[in-house]
Each structure stands twice: as C-alpha cells, then as structure tokens.
Structure 1
C-alpha cells in the first residue's frame, strides 16, 4: 500500500461525493455533523497534521497552539472544496518527505512518530469517505484488503485502547475477530476502565479493548466478517459482522461498539 496515494484518493472521493450533497444532510454515522461539517472536519484534520509535521511539533502546548489557530468554518461547501484540496496535498507532501521513525507529536502517548500519523490519516480518510457516501445515500465503495487490515489493526491498538494513567482496567472477556476472506485474526480483551478524574472529580466507567496477551484465557465470543466489513464494523461504519458467543462477552462487545468512533 502507498499510504499517501490512499489518503489522496480517499479524500478526493469524499470531496467529490460531498460537492453535490445537501450541506445540511445529516451524517448517519456521526449524527452531530452534517455534510458541510464532515467536509470541514477532514479539511481541518489534514491541515492540522500537515502543520504538525512541517513545524516539527513535539509538545502538547505547541499542538494546542496550532489547534487554537484553526480558521472558522466557511458558510458554503463550495468555499471549502479548494481549501480541502490544498490541505490534502500539503499533508501528503509532508508524509512523503518524512520517515516513519522520525519524531513528531501525536495524541497517542505511546507512539510519538510520523508513522502513527501516516497510519491514522489513512484510516481517517477511508472512514470519512464512507461517512460521505452514507450521507449521500450512495452505495459504499469497498476497502482494499490491505487497507482494511490496517484499519482493524489501528482500531485494536489505538482507537479502543486509550485509558488515563489514573484509571483501573478490568478485563471482562476475550474475543476473537476473524476476517473470513483473508484469514486475519485479532485476539482482544474487552472490558472497562474506571476511576475518578483527579482534576474534574468526575467518575468514569468506560468500555475499552486491548490486544490479548499470550496468557489470556480462550475466547468466549467471535466476530466474523470479510475484512472490509470487519473494519467498518470496528469503526462503527455500518459493517455487517456476525457476533457469536457467551452473553457476557457479546454484551461487552456491544458496549464497546456503542461508544462509536468519530
């Protein structure tokens, strides 16, 4: 896979779909957004990360400064389209110049490298392209097997796994994800993290999943689908997957998915 070509192609497809969509059409997979919001979201994300890469951002403060400088959303999709095109090109150009191991700030503390951003931005473009097609009530285009596998990997390793360092993690079940067409398998522990925020005083009880360790018990549930649908299922983009197993395990999976991923 050429990550940069994939980002460019998926972003172009998203823009092409949204160019003719009603700007207030609701995004069914991100219902707090409409079509215009979705286009501006991807534009802003790509502008932000290209700036992180270009300016060699390494700290939370520098990243927050970039984010606070984001321009306001234009009133019309037609005004957003050329800005999106430039944002995608600038992101792709930066990624092509940098190696995966080069350090840059990311929101995922465990991986402060360009490689994280490269993988994340492929997933971002693919999933929001699907959002655009669903918003326009179009048939959703397929995800290439290699790209879908990356998206499942990234969901398992990152999107489901965040937890603050003051929280307590309680696994509830081991679940196996199976890509029926490629043979890919992911063994995950599903459970919840709990704790009280030290600054807010708020109590948290949040679903979470991580890769299962070698000493994990045997899985008590399985999620099966072709890999493109498995990726869409994991990212809550209306992928069709069969979930079978013990009630406690399948319930934990349902709660994990109910959080959604923007």
Structure 2
C-alpha cells in the first residue's frame, strides 16, 4: 500500500507541475544553481624550449638570438638633389618630381602641382603648398586665393597669361598636405632641391615669397607680419615676402600692406629696366 500511495503522490505532484506550466524535464536529478562548481586543478603546461636550446642537455643555456638587421637610412634629400641637378629643363624637372617617391604627401594627393604662367616671366611667385582646388586642377593658386592673386598683380600690370608682363607661379610643396596642414620640416627639406633647381631654370629677375612657408624655404625665417615688405635674398635672387592671398581673404585690413608691397615690387622692376 505504501508504494501505491507513493505512486499517487508522485502522480499528483506531476499534475500540479503541469498545471503550473512545466512541460519539459531537464534532468533526472535536481540542480542547485547556487552551488559553485568545483575548481579543476590543472598542472602547469611545460614551458616551450627556447630557440637554439639543446633538449638533450637539460642545463644547456639557449643560444643567443640573432640581432635584427638594421636597414640603412635613405638619404631622401640627397636623392632629391641628384634628381633635380640632372634635370636640364622644366619638363625634365617635372618628370623628376613625378618620379620621386620618398615624400609621403604624394600618396594622398590627386595631382602634382608644378607651375602656372610663362617661364619667361621676370617675376616668379613662390607659394606654400596646394590646397583642395589646386590639388584637383593640378595648377597653383586657383579658386578664391588664385582669383585674389590675379587681381593683386593685375593692378600693377602683371598676369600669368600676360605675354607682355607675365608671371610665373610655383609652390614650395608640389603635393597637398592632408587637411591643408603646414608641411613638416623633413617634407620641405626633401623638396627644397627641386625648388632651387626650378628657380635656376626659370632664372627670374625677382621672387615673391607668398606666406610663411615660402619665407622658411627661401629665407630660413618665418613671421610674415614682420618680414613682409622687406627685400631679401632667396635662391640667389632679390626676394620680397608678401601676405598670402588666402590670408588677405580672411583679413581684409591687411590689403593696405599688400598694396604697398605691390608698389614696391613695381618700383623694383622699373629700376631694373
């Protein structure tokens, strides 16, 4: 009778669980979810033998690791100087700059920005580096800054397409720096031989250094608000630092000083005959 009572008790308990919604038995024995599992003790894995160690000799010391081979440093400035010196004309210089692969700016730029205007010009303008518009078109000083520059020099009778009184325009850097940041000193150093050769091939009477970066490249100085309007020597030529047209667009009050510098340039040209 005891087993029969037990059977009915179990049957009633099962019916009660079904009524509560239990429809699946997960295990034959109950599981205590609050009980922590027993930690399994594992023996530590054997340490791998060092490279060069002799497994037959337990006390043998591992062989000394070979020192990494130091790669020779590339003389990026020397390579640039050799390539620039070998250029006999402007086309060869442009080809040498196009083939030069040691400046990282080249990898992020769309186009090499070489020059604009007429190489026979008496005045050579050296700008800083291409911006977005220049990078897209492959010419220096286009877009709003280029339009400002054209208006400035038109006022004294000079222009990049004016055969009677032409301008010739280039930049310190032929490739656009990311986000229009200033070129790094090492980037400028490796491109300086190309700029020096550029000036030598064009052989202008006067140079205009537009902005701080051009002053650093040509004069070894920066501080355009202090340098502007003061004649100096850059690449063996008389050079006049001036405000960059982009700065004049942001600071219209500085146009007065820019006009004085243009008049100084005009007087210097007339004095040379």
Question: Above 0.5 in TM-score?
Answer: no
Higher share in strand: 1
Q: Which has the larger radius of gyration?
A: 2
Report the TM-score, using the length of structure 1 for normalisation: 0.28
Q: TM-score when scaled to structure 2?
A: 0.27
